[in-house]
Every structure is written in structure tokens, then in C-alpha cells.
Amino acid sequence: MQYQSTRDSRIRVSASEAIVRGLAPQSGLFVPEAFPQADLAAWKNLSYPELAQRVLAGYLTDYQEQFLEQATTSTYGDAFGGKAGYTRKVHDGVYALELWHGPTCAFKDYALQLMPKLLVEAKHNLGRTEKTRILVATSGDTGKAALAGYAGLDGIEISVFYPDAGTSEIQRLQMVTQTGENVRVYAVEGNFDDAQTGVKRVFADASVADALERRDIRLSSANSINWGRLAPQIVYYFYAYFRLVEQGAVAWGHPVDFCVPTGNFGDILAGYYAKRMGLPVGKLVCASNKNNVLTDFLRTGTYDARRTFYKTTSPSMDILISSNLERLLYHVSESCEKVAGWMKDLAETGTYTVDADTLAKIQQNFAAGYADDMQGAAEIHDRFVQDGYLCDTHTAVAFCVAENNRSEAPMVVLSTASPFKFPRDVLAALGEQAPESDFAAMKCLTEKTKQQAPASLCVLDSLPVRFSEKIRPEEIRAAALR
């Protein structure tokens, strides 16, 4: 299987190359040139790691089978407490696919626990021996998930930059208590934009690349446009479908709808790949918060990023430029020229409009909706009171949108974070006075709901803080060069 750029079909590389490079030249994204077809009957009863191996083998054709088997087993076994792909009924016809049983309690673990291994192996496949230095700017979830994934790996170092005043107490402690000799964590004075702009500048700075190259170090990023982060997310759509069949919720071969809390469009796009591989998926419902640029696009065909940016209680979905959408545009239009044109319009004017044919093809597969913080809070309350189901602020947005987009088919809502990661907002939604501290709030949430907080979050306030350095945005370059 070869990969090509969404903006230039002449650029063709292997899977290993796509994963080492991350971005294609001229900012295109790497996409597979075909959709490997699923063998549903043979895959139906596989364990999660076995299924992951089969799905990935179709895409990562230059990786050894034995490596994939070992990597998927070591990633999705114990680290997910036997709950990788765990799917449970919430109420009639509606199911939750709980993706937060990994080490950092957010769905990004599915990709970030595996991708570092894929990167190390890709370098091995390509005969590369340099050190890789990963730089990550994070508003919270990605930083910890990346640290946990890359810690202790050979030939890799990772530095994470988070906004001093921009993360929750839990998210900050998750990062600054990270163990491992190859990790570094910095607080950056300012907000997420300051941290992100600083890191982007370092990536674009040729003098940094030169200086590092002389020390045999190459920079790389861990963000969600890397194919190595997208591919592992395809697996759980299959796994959830098979569990619904097993539970008698859907007849074999009949469709299931999925509703996905969406930010950068990576998670929901993985569902589209599953569908193109032959999984009976009905609608993929894209759920947004008040930053509803995707809702408008999927309904009208006009993407318009020229709008107010809102900070919401579902911060991982606060995004105006949804990078992975470019891959979908390529797959439905099958035209690099069109994609390059739309992306040029977006960069130059902040907006673009796709043609009617492209929009029609998108709407055959996708529906969309959004919910604001108030609606999300009401949803957390209702699901808990009516169904005994406790969900986080991101998942709540999806439950809300799912309700307005029901068809005859069962609906699976992707549950992307543990409610204990956002204990103050969840408590408030349940009608309780939330204490100032996240840890106090976690305890109250346990008392109120009789559910245990994940152990990895409970221990955070007793772990040694390893990183306390605070830098200014202009010092990110120096930190990256250390």
C-alpha cells in the first residue's frame, strides 16, 4: 500500500515514510491510495489486539506481521485494563463506546499508545538511525497522552509545552509528574495560542533544524494529522459493531450509526475509513460544541473559519480549523487539484465552498449538529438521572446531537473522556456545588454517583512533581534546542 498527498498525486511513499514524515510536502496530508477490504466474518470474534493487528496490516504493508502482533498486544492488553473497545447500552437503541480506559483516561490513548511504536519501527524499516525529538504544544489531553506514549522509547525524546494558565489542575499534574528519562515538560507563560505559535515557529525555523541535524537529531510532531495517529482509531468502529451484533442489538450486516464528539475530525474520519473498508455504517454524525464550524460545513458545503472562537466546557473540541477534514475532501472528490484549491482559499480568505457533487457525497455519509455548554450540562444530568450513565462534557455534546439524529439503526456514541477528568463541570451539571479543587471535586463526584475515579487520576496529587520550569513563549526555541 502506497500513500499519496491530498494535494499532489505524484508524491507517493510507503507507510513507514508517511509516518516518519508526518506532513506531505506543501502541507498536504498523506492518504492511503486504496481502502483495504475487511473480512467481517473472520474478524467478528477476534480480541481487540488481534483485530487491531488485522486492520493495521491492511494499511501498514511494509511492517512485519510479527511486529504488528507484538505492538498491538502490548498496547491494547493490560494498559486498557481489558476494556479496549468497551461498549455498553445506555438506553433503548443508544450505546456508548467507552474509549477512556487507557492510561490517561482520554480516547487519544488509542493512537498515542501505539503510534510511538509505529514510529520507532518505521525508522527501523527505513534504516534511519538519527534521534527523533518530538515537540508538542498542548491544551491538555494530547500532551499527557503523548508523554505516556513516548516515555522510555529508544531513539526518541519528547518535549511538551503547555499554557501556564490554560489547563485544568488534573491535566497539569498528569504532565508534570510524568516519569521517564526522555521526557521534558514546560509551562509557557500565556494561553494555548502562545504555546502553539511558539512551537510552530520552531518547526518552521531552518536554523533549529540545522543545529539539531549537526547533533543527529530530527524534529517531529505528534499531532493528529500523522497517519500513524489516524489508523489505530479505525479499529474500535469494527470492534463496537461486532459487540452490538453479539448483544443482539443489530442483525449481522445491518447498519449502525455512530455519533462522534469532534474537534480536529480525526476520530470521526476513522469511522469513514471503517465504512469504506466494508463495515455496515449508516450515518456518521459529527457533534460539535458552540464552535460549530463543522456543523455549518456539513450542512451547507461552505467552510467558514472567520468566526468567534469560544472557550467551552468541552475544550478538546474548541477548534476552528479542523485539519483532518482535508482527507475526507480528497476521498470524496478524488481530486488533488480541487483539494489544493479549497485549502488555498482557506489559507488566504478563511473560507471555501465545495461543489454540489462533493457536498452530496459527503452528506450521504455524514450528518451534523451541535450543542452548547448549557445543553451539554443538561444532557449529563439527564443521562445520569434517567439512565444511570455518567459521561464527561465532550461525550455529553455527542449524546445531545445523537438524540436529534436518530434513524432506524442503533446509535453508538463515542465516549471520549472519563467524567473524572472534568469533575467540576460534571458535578455542576449534576446540580452540585463544585469545590475549587479538582481533587475535592473528584471525591464529591464519587460520593454523588457511587462510581470510582480512575486510579491513575486519584494518585496524581501524591506523585512527585518532576517539572516546574516556566518559560516565556520566545524561550521555546532555546528549550527545543537543549
Ligand X SMILES: *Cc1c(COP(=O)(O)O)cnc(C)c1O
Question: Is the CB of residue 18 less than 8 Å from the CB of residue 1?
Answer: no
Tell which one of 177, 196, 365, 416 touches ligand X (CB under 6 A): 416
Q: Which stretch binds ligand X (CB under 6 A): 62-70, 102-110, 189-197, 403-411?
A: 102-110
Shortest distance in whole angstroms from residue 392 CB to ligand X: 7
Q: Which is nearer to ligand X, 317 or 390 (CB)?
A: 317
Q: Which of 44, 108, 344, 361 is catalytic?
A: 108
117 is catalytic: no
- Does the protein bind ligand X through residue 106 (CB under 6 A)? yes
Q: Which stretch binds ligand X (CB under 6 A): 81-89, 182-190, 257-265, 461-469?
A: 257-265
- Measured CA to CA, the distance from residue 259 to residue 247 in angstroms comes to 19
Shortest distance in whole angstroms from residue 90 CB to ligand X: 17
Torsion-angle region of 265 (φ positive above 0: left; ψ -120 to 50: alpha; else: beta): left
Cβ contacts of 335 within 8 Å, gap of 6 or more? none
* Three-state DSSP state, 47: coil
Radius of gyration, CA atoms only, the chain = 21
Q: Which of residues 137-166 bind ligand X (CB under 6 A)?
A: 141
Partners of 23 in the β-ladder: 29
Q: Which stretch binds ligand X (CB under 6 A): 18-26, 124-132, 265-273, 362-370?
A: 265-273
Q: Which of residues 355-394 bind ligand X (CB under 6 A)?
A: 394
Question: Is the CB of residue 271 less than 8 Å from the CB of residue 260?
Answer: yes
Q: Which is nearer to ligand X, 256 or 317 (CB)?
A: 317
- DSSP H or E segment with residue 136: strand 131-137
Q: Which stretch binds ligand X (CB under 6 A): 19-27, 36-44, 59-67, 262-270?
A: 262-270
- Does the protein bind ligand X through residue 113 (CB under 6 A)? no
Q: Which of residues 313-332 bind ligand X (CB under 6 A)?
A: 316-317
Q: How many helices and strands, by DSSP H and E, does the chain display?
A: 23, 16
- Measured CA to CA, the distance from residue 57 to residue 38 in angstroms comes to 11
- Does the protein bind ligand X through residue 264 (CB under 6 A)? yes
- Does the protein bind ligand X through residue 261 (CB under 6 A)? yes
Shortest distance in whole angstroms from residue 156 CB to ligand X: 22
DSSP symbol at 29: B
Q: Which is nearer to ligand X, 271 or 282 (CB)?
A: 271
Cβ contacts of 60 within 8 Å, gap of 6 or more? 1, 15, 16, 68, 118, 231
Shortest distance in whole angstroms from residue 6 CB to ligand X: 17
**Cβ count within 10 A of residue 247:** 13
Q: Which is nearer to ligand X, 133 or 327 (CB)?
A: 327
Question: Is the CB of residue 236 less than 8 Å from the CB of residue 52?
Answer: no
Question: Is the CB of residue 199 less than 8 Å from the CB of residue 188?
Answer: no
- Does the protein bind ligand X through residue 263 (CB under 6 A)? yes
Partners of 303 in the β-ladder: 352
Q: Which is nearer to ligand X, 61 or 405 (CB)?
A: 405
DSSP symbol at 417: B
Please count the residues of this chain forming the interface with ligand X, following the rule CB under 6 A. 17
- Does the protein bind ligand X through residue 266 (CB under 6 A)? yes
Positions marked active-site: 108
Binding interface with ligand X (CB under 6 A): 106-108, 141, 224, 261-267, 316-317, 394, 416-417
